[in-house]
Each structure stands twice: as structure tokens, then as C-alpha cells.
Amino acid sequence: MSDVGDLQDGVDRWIRENGGYWDEMSLLARLVEETGELAREYNHRFGAKKKKVTEKDKAIADEMGDILFILICMANQQGIRLDEALSKVIAKYEIRDAGRFSGN
Amino acid sequence: MSDVGDLQDGVDRWIRENGGYWDEMSLLARLVEETGELAREYNHRFGAKKKKVTEKDKAIADEMGDILFILICMANQQGIRLDEALSKVIAKYEIRDAGRFSGN
Amino acid sequence: MSDVGDLQDGVDRWIRENGGYWDEMSLLARLVEETGELAREYNHRFGAKKKKVTEKDKAIADEMGDILFILICMANQQGIRLDEALSKVIAKYEIRDAGRFSGN
Amino acid sequence: MSDVGDLQDGVDRWIRENGGYWDEMSLLARLVEETGELAREYNHRFGAKKKKVTEKDKAIADEMGDILFILICMANQQGIRLDEALSKVIAKYEIRDAGRFSGN
């Protein structure tokens, strides 16, 4: 299960079997919540935040999975294919930032 | 204790007595973490997220306090007075968005 | 103009004269937008993001002012006094993290 | 180009040809910036923010692509496969939230 379209379809089925999509602003808030949790893990691992012994080590991979899950929900709701969206980003970078790296 | 300058000074003393400021990027990550926690509370209260019975009702006020605390830390570290920064924002809105509300 | 209560009241007047508060989830989304803009500035100044010459140097102080403005809007809407919320945060840290810094 | 592993590999090649990965905290800040831009678009489309006529309509799909791009960068840097991370999330939901939807 690693084709992006299949992943999006799989999440779509799961969501529809489990109550349907939240409204757009609630999904956005959830994305922010998950981004905050990844920030917390990054601070523990790469930043200055001292980890308390009692805190559970929730893996960075889990938080990234949570973010991707919500992002897929949001994309599905808007009828967006994420692999196409990503292709555009890469095309955009190649044009826009060309001179930025080469020094021209 | 409600003058902004006094609040910033109070936080500054507390931070210096408790190990000093984190580096800038770590403080930013902490702000993101706290914003995520507020987003979670907003979703529970105003959005679509169904609250589980076992979840503790951490008050919105507490999350806002957490955000303000980190924002003050960041401002202190940069030598910024938040009341002056706020005054500029209000001045900016009055000019920039004047026609947006009046319809001109 | 530096008493927190006065600042909150001033923003409240300004908002009511300019169309009233947005709904809660929209204010949250705006807070996220402003946090993102501060993150962008932090990356330019303290992180790895190479600044393009053509990019306008929007000051960190302005972004912090924007965040505080939205936070005040959200607090006003919920009837929360931010100085009281902040006092609770500081009280919480003194209790909760006492052993964390002293080593007890 | 829609297999997740292939997408991650493609981004990895592009990054290595264009200066390499930023440090972790800078990538996180960039994720926050992009999330903020998506929040801005969501507010324009689904929330209360009145769109100014002069503002460019940067598509939601583009912002989602930007977020996925940074998420892939972060995952690559940590040696994480996002499709595996996503599978764990779905497995977690099926177990953890089973009673939440069925009412048991």
C-alpha cells in the first residue's frame, strides 16, 4: 500500500465508514494540533526542551504519520490528488529558485 | 501585575532564575506546540472533534496563557516590547484596511 | 497604553467598530497564519532559509504584534483576561517544574 | 510518479542536487510557515476572512503540495518511510477509537 492514490482512497473509505469528514476548519485545526505535537518531539530531540523522565517517547514517525493522515483527509475533501500537487511544487522550485542556488 | 512591561520583566526574571532562555528556534517550536494545544481545545469546544470522556478539560484560558508566556519569552529575547508592537499593528490596520470595511 | 486590560479593551473597541469578531475557528486559523509568518522570519534570521534579495524584511516585532493582536481577539471573545491567564501559567511552572530545574 | 517511496526518493535527489537538507529545526519552521499559508487559504475559502480583490488566489492544492514536500524532506532526513508511518496511524485509529464510534 504505497501508491499515493491508493493511500488517499484507503483513507477515504476508512473515513466514510467511521462517521465521514469533519468540516474544513476543524480538519485544519487538527492539522495544527498534529503539527504542534511534531514540534514538541523535535524540541525534545533536536531543540532545547529538557525531556522529563515520565514523558512517553512518542515517536517522530508517528507524528509524521498523523500529519500525513490529516493532510490526506483535507486533500480528499477538496478533491485534490497529493502526488499531482507535489509534482507542481517540484516544478515550481526548479523554475523559481534556479538562480538562487546557482548564484545567477 | 497587568502592565505589559512589568509582565515582560517578571517573565524575564523568572527565566533567568530558571536556566535562561532557550535558543530562538526552540522557543519557536514551543510556540507551535502551544498553538497546537489551543487548536485542540478549540476543536473540542467549537469544532467537530468529539471529546472523549477520559480527556482532561484543559481550559482554553490556560492554553492562551501558555502562548502569551512563550510569546513574551521570544519578545524578551529579541528586545521587543509587545505593547509597542501591538500599537503598530493597530495603526497598520487603521491605514491598510480602511477601505476594506467602508467599501471604498 | 500598556496595561493588559486596557489593551484588551482597546482592541475590543476597534473590533466592534470594524465589523465585529470573526467566529472562533476563523480566528484560530488567523493565529496559525500569523504564527507561520513569524516562523518564516525566524528561519530567515536564525535558521537555514536563505533570504532572497527581493524579499521584504518584515520585522519580527511586527509579526509578534500580529500574534498578540489575534490572541487578544480570541481572549476577548472568550471573556478571558490574559494577565490572569499568564499569572496561572507562571504559578503552574513554579510548582510543576520545580524539581526539573533544581534536580530534586 | 505516485509511489510514496519513489516520491521520497525523488525529493531526496532534488534536495541533494540543490544544497542538501536544512537542519531539523529549520525544516520544522518551514513546515509551520506552510501550514500557516494553508490556514490563510482555508480562512479565505471556508472561514471569515474577507478576501481583498488584489490578493492572488494561490490554490489550496499548491499549499498542500508545499506541506507534503516539507514533510517528505523531514521524513527523508529522519530515515522514515511515510507510507509505513501512515499505516501505523490507521492501525492505531482502528484499535484506539473503535469504541468511540460504535458507542461501546
Pairwise CB contact (< 8 Å): D68 & A84: no
Q: What is the pLDDT of residue B90?
A: 87
For CA atoms B67, B38, C11, C91, the dihedral sign is: negative
Pairwise CB contact (< 8 Å): B26 & D25: yes
Residue C63 C-alpha cell reads as 509579526
Q: What is the pLDDT of residue D102?
A: 38
Predicted confidence (pLDDT) at residue A85 exceeds the cutoff of 90? yes
Which residues of chain C make contact with A100, given a CB cutoff of 8 A? Answer: 50, 52
State the average pLDDT over residues B54-81: 88
Looking at the domain assignment, is residue B13 inside a domain?
yes
Over residues A24-78, the pLDDT tens digits come to: 999 999 999 999 999 999 999 999 876 664 555 558 999 999 999 999 999 999 9
Predicted confidence (pLDDT) at residue D104 exceeds the cutoff of 60? no
Q: What is the pLDDT of residue C49?
A: 73
Look at A13 and D49; give whichever has higher pLDDT: A13
B20 touches chain A (CB under 8 A): no
- Which residues lie across from D28 on neighbouring strands? none
Look at A44 and D51; give whichever has higher pLDDT: A44
Please state, in angstroms and rounded to a whole number, the distance separating the CA atoms of residues B5 and B72: 10
- Which residues lie across from D16 on neighbouring strands? none
Predicted confidence (pLDDT) at residue C45 exceeds the cutoff of 70? yes
State the average pLDDT over residues C22-41: 98
CB D36 within 8 A of CB C39: yes
State the average pLDDT over residues D5-23: 93
Which residues of chain A make contact with D75, given a CB cutoff of 8 A? Answer: 61, 64
Number of domains composing chain D? 1
Looking at the domain assignment, is residue A103 inside a domain?
no
- To 10 degrees, the CA torsion angle through B76, B78, B84, B88? -140
Please state, in angstroms and rounded to a whole number, the distance separating the CA atoms of residues A93 and D15: 11
Q: What is the pLDDT of residue A94?
A: 77
Q: Nearest CA of chain B to the CA of D25: how many Å?
A: 6
From the list A35, D94, C82, the residue with the least C-alpha distance to B2 is C82
CB D30 within 8 A of CB D22: yes
Q: What is the pLDDT of residue B2?
A: 82
Of C25, C88, C89, the CB nearest to B42: C25
Looking at the domain assignment, is residue B70 inside a domain?
yes
Q: Which CATH number characterizes residue C64's domain? A: 1.10.287.1080
**pTM score, two decimals?**
0.89
Percent of chain D with pLDDT over 70: 81
Q: What is the pLDDT of residue C50?
A: 65
C30 touches chain D (CB under 8 A): yes
Please state, in angstroms and rounded to a whole number, the distance separating the CA atoms of residues A48 and B29: 10
Please state, in angstroms and rounded to a whole number, the distance separating the CA atoms of residues A20 and A18: 6
Beta carbons within 8 Å of A96's beta carbon, 6+ residues apart: none
Model confidence at D51, pLDDT cuts 50, 70, 90, reads low
Model confidence at B28, pLDDT cuts 50, 70, 90, reads very high
Pairwise CB contact (< 8 Å): A48 & B37: no
Q: Nearest CA of chain B to the CA of C20: how many Å?
A: 11
Q: How many CB pairs under 8 A join B and C?
A: 141
Touching chains, D (3+ CB pairs < 8 A): A, B, C
State the average pLDDT over residues D36-44: 96
Nearest residue on chain D to A7, alpha-carbon basis: D83
Q: Nearest CA of chain A to the CA of C4: how many Å?
A: 27
Pairwise CB contact (< 8 Å): B46 & C39: no
CB A59 within 8 A of CB D89: no
Q: How many CB pairs under 8 A join A and C?
A: 17
Predicted confidence (pLDDT) at residue A98 exceeds the cutoff of 90? no
Of A25, A50, A52, the CB nearest to C29: A25
Q: What is the pLDDT of residue A2?
A: 82
Please state, in angstroms and rounded to a whole number, the distance separating the CA atoms of residues C86 and C7: 15
Nearest residue on chain D to C50, alpha-carbon basis: D22
DSSP state of D55: S
Over residues B77-103, the pLDDT tens digits come to: 999 999 999 999 988 887 666 544 433
Q: Nearest CA of chain D to the CA of B7: how many Å?
A: 27
Which residues of chain A make contact with B25, given a CB cutoff of 8 A? Answer: 47
Pairwise CB contact (< 8 Å): D100 & B28: no
State the average pLDDT over residues D97-102: 48
Pairwise CB contact (< 8 Å): D90 & A75: no
Which residues of chain B make contact with D52, given a CB cutoff of 8 A? Answer: 100
Looking at the domain assignment, is residue A104 inside a domain?
no
- Which residues lie across from B3 on neighbouring strands? C3
State the average pLDDT over residues C48-58: 61
Beta carbons within 8 Å of B43's beta carbon, 6+ residues apart: A26, A29, A30, A33, B49
Which residues of chain B make contact with A37, given a CB cutoff of 8 A? Answer: 33, 36
Looking at the domain assignment, is residue D103 inside a domain?
no
A60 touches chain D (CB under 8 A): yes
Nearest residue on chain A to B35, alpha-carbon basis: A36
Which residues of chain D make contact with C25, given a CB cutoff of 8 A? Answer: 47
Model confidence at A102, pLDDT cuts 50, 70, 90, reads very low
Q: What does R_g of chain D's alpha carbons equal in angstroms?
A: 17
What's the mean pLDDT when you consider all of chain D?
Answer: 86
Please state, in angstroms and rounded to a whole number, the distance separating the CA atoms of residues D66 and D85: 19
Model confidence at D101, pLDDT cuts 50, 70, 90, reads very low
Predicted confidence (pLDDT) at residue B15 exceeds the cutoff of 90? yes
Pairwise CB contact (< 8 Å): C100 & A52: yes
- Listed range (B78-82, D16-20, D92-96) with the worst mean pLDDT: D92-96
Looking at the domain assignment, is residue A25 inside a domain?
yes
Residue D60 C-alpha cell reads as 489550496
Looking at the domain assignment, is residue C103 inside a domain?
no
Over residues C87-102, the pLDDT tens digits come to: 999 888 876 665 454 3
Looking at the domain assignment, is residue B72 inside a domain?
yes
Q: What is the pLDDT of residue A101?
A: 42
Q: Nearest CA of chain A to the CA of B61: how many Å?
A: 17
What range defines the domain where residue C52 resides?
A: 4-98
Query: Does residue A50 come out as left (phi exceeding 0), alpha (psi in the -120 to 50 range) or beta?
Result: beta
Residue type present at position B79: G
